[in-house]
Amino acid sequence: MNSIITKEWGMNNNRLSRTVQEIVACLVKGDYDYLERQTDSTRLTKEEMQTAVNEYPGTLVLPPERSFENIDVIEIEGTAPTEWSGRFDLWTAEDGRSDLTLELNLIENNKELYDVRIDNIHVL
Protein backbone atom coordinates (compact mmCIF):
# COMPACT_ATOMS: atom_id res chain seq x y z
CA MET A 1 0.00 0.00 0.00
CA ASN A 2 1.13 3.51 -0.71
CA SER A 3 0.68 5.98 2.11
CA ILE A 4 -0.85 9.18 0.84
CA ILE A 5 -1.32 12.16 3.10
CA THR A 6 -3.25 15.15 1.78
CA LYS A 7 -0.15 17.31 1.92
CA GLU A 8 1.40 14.91 -0.59
CA TRP A 9 -1.73 15.09 -2.71
CA GLY A 10 -1.21 18.81 -2.64
CA MET A 11 -3.63 21.52 -1.72
CA ASN A 12 -5.37 20.79 -5.01
CA ASN A 13 -7.27 17.92 -3.48
CA ASN A 14 -10.01 20.11 -2.10
CA ARG A 15 -12.45 17.36 -2.97
CA LEU A 16 -11.03 15.13 -0.24
CA SER A 17 -11.15 17.95 2.30
CA ARG A 18 -14.70 18.95 1.33
CA THR A 19 -15.89 15.35 1.60
CA VAL A 20 -14.45 14.87 5.08
CA GLN A 21 -15.67 18.33 6.15
CA GLU A 22 -19.22 17.39 5.18
CA ILE A 23 -19.09 14.15 7.16
CA VAL A 24 -17.61 15.85 10.22
CA ALA A 25 -20.18 18.68 10.04
CA CYS A 26 -22.99 16.11 10.04
CA LEU A 27 -21.49 14.36 13.06
CA VAL A 28 -21.26 17.71 14.88
CA LYS A 29 -24.91 18.54 14.01
CA GLY A 30 -26.04 15.03 14.92
CA ASP A 31 -27.48 14.49 11.46
CA TYR A 32 -27.17 10.71 11.59
CA ASP A 33 -30.09 10.14 9.23
CA TYR A 34 -28.24 12.01 6.49
CA LEU A 35 -25.01 10.14 7.22
CA GLU A 36 -26.81 6.82 7.08
CA ARG A 37 -28.32 7.71 3.70
CA GLN A 38 -25.00 8.98 2.33
CA THR A 39 -23.11 5.87 3.42
CA ASP A 40 -25.90 3.37 2.68
CA SER A 41 -25.40 2.03 6.26
CA THR A 42 -22.76 -0.18 4.72
CA ARG A 43 -20.68 -0.33 7.86
CA LEU A 44 -22.25 1.75 10.65
CA THR A 45 -25.91 2.43 11.22
CA LYS A 46 -27.15 5.80 12.41
CA GLU A 47 -27.67 4.30 15.86
CA GLU A 48 -24.07 3.07 16.02
CA MET A 49 -22.74 6.47 14.93
CA GLN A 50 -24.93 8.27 17.46
CA THR A 51 -23.90 5.91 20.26
CA ALA A 52 -20.20 6.41 19.51
CA VAL A 53 -20.56 10.20 19.62
CA ASN A 54 -22.90 10.32 22.63
CA GLU A 55 -20.77 7.99 24.75
CA TYR A 56 -17.70 10.15 24.26
CA PRO A 57 -17.19 12.58 27.16
CA GLY A 58 -17.07 15.73 25.09
CA THR A 59 -19.14 17.90 22.77
CA LEU A 60 -18.14 17.62 19.13
CA VAL A 61 -17.32 20.89 17.37
CA LEU A 62 -16.08 21.76 13.93
CA PRO A 63 -12.29 21.69 13.86
CA PRO A 64 -10.25 24.56 12.47
CA GLU A 65 -10.32 24.52 8.69
CA ARG A 66 -6.56 23.94 8.52
CA SER A 67 -7.02 20.55 10.23
CA PHE A 68 -8.60 19.28 7.01
CA GLU A 69 -5.21 19.69 5.36
CA ASN A 70 -3.91 16.78 7.44
CA ILE A 71 -6.21 13.90 6.63
CA ASP A 72 -4.36 10.62 6.87
CA VAL A 73 -5.30 8.47 3.85
CA ILE A 74 -3.93 5.32 2.27
CA GLU A 75 -4.88 4.05 -1.17
CA ILE A 76 -6.38 0.57 -1.12
CA GLU A 77 -4.66 -1.42 -3.83
CA GLY A 78 -6.69 -3.35 -6.36
CA THR A 79 -9.95 -1.48 -5.92
CA ALA A 80 -12.11 -0.39 -8.81
CA PRO A 81 -13.19 2.31 -8.59
CA THR A 82 -10.17 3.62 -6.67
CA GLU A 83 -10.72 3.65 -2.93
CA TRP A 84 -8.83 5.15 0.00
CA SER A 85 -8.93 4.38 3.70
CA GLY A 86 -8.77 7.50 5.85
CA ARG A 87 -8.55 8.59 9.45
CA PHE A 88 -9.43 11.99 10.92
CA ASP A 89 -9.26 13.19 14.54
CA LEU A 90 -12.48 14.77 15.76
CA TRP A 91 -12.52 17.91 17.93
CA THR A 92 -14.44 18.77 21.10
CA ALA A 93 -15.39 22.04 22.76
CA GLU A 94 -13.68 20.88 25.93
CA ASP A 95 -10.31 19.70 24.60
CA GLY A 96 -9.88 20.80 21.00
CA ARG A 97 -8.36 17.92 19.05
CA SER A 98 -9.57 14.76 20.75
CA ASP A 99 -8.67 11.09 20.73
CA LEU A 100 -12.04 10.29 19.12
CA THR A 101 -11.28 9.28 15.56
CA LEU A 102 -13.37 8.97 12.43
CA GLU A 103 -12.30 6.12 10.15
CA LEU A 104 -13.77 6.09 6.68
CA ASN A 105 -13.33 4.91 3.12
CA LEU A 106 -13.50 7.38 0.24
CA ILE A 107 -14.53 5.95 -3.11
CA GLU A 108 -13.88 7.55 -6.49
CA ASN A 109 -16.93 8.62 -8.50
CA ASN A 110 -17.90 11.32 -10.98
CA LYS A 111 -19.53 13.58 -8.38
CA GLU A 112 -18.45 16.71 -6.53
CA LEU A 113 -17.65 14.68 -3.37
CA TYR A 114 -16.32 11.16 -2.95
CA ASP A 115 -18.67 8.36 -1.95
CA VAL A 116 -18.11 7.55 1.71
CA ARG A 117 -18.34 4.53 3.97
CA ILE A 118 -17.85 5.20 7.67
CA ASP A 119 -15.89 2.29 9.14
CA ASN A 120 -15.70 3.39 12.74
CA ILE A 121 -15.90 6.23 15.24
CA HIS A 122 -13.78 5.33 18.24
CA VAL A 123 -11.02 6.34 20.62
CA LEU A 124 -7.50 5.72 19.35
Q: What does the pLDDT read at residue 12?
A: 41
For residue 42, pLDDT over 80 is answered with no
- What's the domain count of the chain? 1
- DSSP sequence for the chain: --EEEHHHH-TT-HHHHHHHHHHHHHHHHT-HHHHHHHHTTSS--HHHHHHHHHHSSS-EEPPPGGGGG--EEEEETT-SS-EEEEEEEEEETTTEEEEEEEEEEEE--SSSS-EEEEEEEEE-
Q: By percentage, how much of the chain surpasses pLDDT 90?
A: 78
Residue 4 confidence (pLDDT): 43
Reported as a pLDDT band with limits 50, 70 and 90, residue 112 is very high
pTM of whole model > 0.85?
A: yes
pLDDT band, very low/low/confident/very high, at 13 (cuts 50, 70, 90): confident
Q: pLDDT tens for residues 74-92?
A: 999 999 999 999 999 999 9
Please give the residue range of the domain that contains residue 12. 3-123
